[in-house]
Structure 1
């Protein structure tokens, strides 16, 4: 639907606790009960010019930490994440990614997930993770 009244307002979410967007997009958009979090890179928000670590496991931890910061800036939590997409530049390193991912989501029902190997990612990183969270799961609205 374009234009008109869709019944839901689109709200941008941002936080200084995650790296700023590296292009013309929002860190996240809230539409009704859904939160769409843009791909988070393994960059330190306090030093975004620093290179990402070599370890895909450590890159995954950093990307997930940034994802958590954006989700929490919306008033939601990790347990509200319903789906993630992981982009990796080397699928042979997936075990490192999977271990860090499993640790991050321990104690909550892990979200549905898709993993895709890509030729390259911004800032020469090896991992990027985006998410969709559901606000109504905790009665936020």
Structure 2
């Protein structure tokens, strides 16, 4: 667990490392400083918050987004939010170095979130 990371919404570890790979549990758009605060409005704001939370987890184990090899994204409003997510996604990574990615439409997410993202990273 990363002490500065978001409060878990279920029983899990923020990250688990095995054989040089780090598996980061799906993060929600909650505010680590105010876990009961309302979620940000809209897919862009929620995605930015999720990425910020993932960066906290990665930073807590000495890694960053540049170490991400795979991302899984879950959207509750796939048709509505997919294009907006795609438009902002490259801004989180170095040009030409996007991780592999799967995006899945789901019926619901914890805490009423629009987006959840989990990652696989590799320690250099």
Larger radius of gyration, structure 1 or 2?
1
Does residue 102 in structure 1 map to residue 90 in structure 2? yes
Does residue 115 in structure 1 map to residue 85 in structure 2? no
Does residue 81 in structure 1 map to residue 68 in structure 2? yes
Q: How many residues were matched structurally?
A: 123
Aligned pair partner of 2:25 in 38, 55, 73: 38
Asked if the contact 2:21/2:120 (under 8 Å) is kept, the reply is yes
Does residue 24 in structure 1 map to residue 11 in structure 2? yes
Does residue 126 in structure 1 map to residue 88 in structure 2? no
Mapped to 2, the partners of 1:50 and 1:32 lie a distance apart of 37
Determine helix, strand or coil for the equivalent of 1:79.
helix
* TM-score normalised per structure 2: 0.92
Asked if the contact 2:66/2:94 (under 8 Å) is kept, the reply is no
Mapped to 2, the partners of 1:121 and 1:112 lie a distance apart of 22
Aligned pair partner of 1:65 in 47, 52, 62: 52
**1 or 2 for the larger relative contact order (CA 8 Å, sep ≥6)?**
2
* TM-score normalised per structure 1: 0.82
Does residue 49 in structure 1 map to residue 36 in structure 2? yes
Pairwise CA distance, 1:17: 3.0
Asked if the contact 2:6/2:31 (under 8 Å) is kept, the reply is yes
RMSD across aligned C-alpha pairs, in angstroms?
A: 1.3
**Structure 1: gaps spanning 5 or more residues:** 1-13
Pairwise CA distance, 1:32: 2.2
Pairwise CA distance, 1:107: 3.9
Change (3 A) 1:19 1:134: same
**Structure 2: gaps spanning 5 or more residues:** none
Pairwise CA distance, 1:18: 2.4
1:3-46 deviation digits (Å, cap 9, x = unpaired): xxxxxxxxxxx223321211111011111201000001011100
